[in-house]
């Protein structure tokens, strides 16, 4: 009887200890308002998450958690490329990355075409997002597509279109990876569908990159920055070419770190 009582006591204490440890672990996993949020970076057209490795390293040095979801059919997922991949596929990619990584209170940044993607993501999971950042990116409204936004400037896309794909003309046939790859035309033509009004209230910042010595009004994404300004978003300007992740990574990271 005494042995049975002792064993029950040990079992009880073991369960109590396990519950205490689980509770302590849960407390440590709760977001701390004083810590910096996670940043999810969505790359642009033809590119891949590989292009943001250096920016990730710099952000991590500043204490940020960084996630770089790879859009289907591009980058290291080029083997999954299909003509039926559209904008909605890429929105699913990022939504699922956020859900399966269980991310909350994030800064969601989209570069160039990535602006289309993060707009759709915000419509789906606005409760997971602290702020949106559009880096030289498209700012679509409901029913718009890349092609409808670029208008007359879309001729360069048409010139690179080969069947169901838009093929980057700057990539050489024998160029080793990593490099830009052909992208499904459907990602440029599929209109975005926005239904969640909660997404409209999310804080957002626009960063316009302008080449040194050039006028901001002559930039390809000037009209998008003005659209952001009309929505009341803070609009910042960074001296860099369109691919600031390569031409001005340190300045870009400093700017990102200053956004609240």
Of the residues 112, 145, 184, 225, only one is catalytic, namely 112
Round to whole Å and give the CA distance between 77 and 181. 10
Active site residue 112: yes
99 near 126, Cβ under 8 Å? no
Round to whole Å and give the CA distance between 180 and 16. 55
Round to whole Å and give the CA distance between 165 and 188. 10
- Greatest C-alpha distance within the chain: 89
CB-based contacts of 6, cutoff 8 Å, min separation 6: none
Q: How far out from the chain centre does Cα 238 lie?
A: 19
The secondary structure of the chain in percent helix, strand, coil, rounded to multiples of 5, reads: 50, 15, 35
Q: Which residues are known catalytic residues? A: 112
């Amino acid at each position: 009887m005494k042995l049975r009582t002792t064993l029950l006591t040990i079992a009880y204490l073991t369960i109590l200890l396990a519950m205490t440890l689980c509770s302590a672990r849960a407390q440590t996993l709760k977001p701390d308002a004083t810590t910096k949020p996670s940043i999810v970076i969505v790359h642009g057209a033809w590119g891949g998450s590989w292009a943001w490795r250096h920016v990730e390293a710099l952000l991590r040095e500043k204490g940020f958690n960084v996630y770089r979801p790879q859009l289907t059919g591009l980058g290291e997922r080029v083997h999954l490329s299909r003509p039926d991949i559209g904008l909605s596929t890429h929105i699913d990619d990022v939504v699922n990355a956020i859900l399966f990584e269980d991310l909350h209170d994030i800064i969601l940044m989209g570069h160039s075409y990535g602006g289309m993607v993060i707009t759709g993501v915000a419509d789906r999971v606005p409760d997971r997002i602290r702020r949106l950042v559009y880096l030289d990116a498209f700012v679509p409204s409901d029913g718009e597509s890349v092609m409808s936004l670029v208008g007359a400037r879309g001729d360069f896309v048409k010139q690179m279109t080969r069947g169901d794909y838009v093929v980057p003309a700057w990539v050489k046939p024998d160029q080793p990876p990593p490099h830009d790859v052909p992208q499904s035309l459907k990602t440029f033509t599929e209109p975005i569908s926005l239904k969640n009004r909660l997404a409209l209230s999310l804080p957002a910042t626009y960063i316009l990159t302008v080449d040194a010595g050039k006028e901001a009004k002559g930039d390809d994404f000037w009209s998008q920055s003005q659209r952001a300004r009309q929505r009341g978003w803070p609009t910042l300007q960074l001296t860099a070419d369109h691919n600031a992740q390569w031409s001005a990574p340190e300045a870009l990271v400093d700017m990102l770190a200053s956004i609240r």
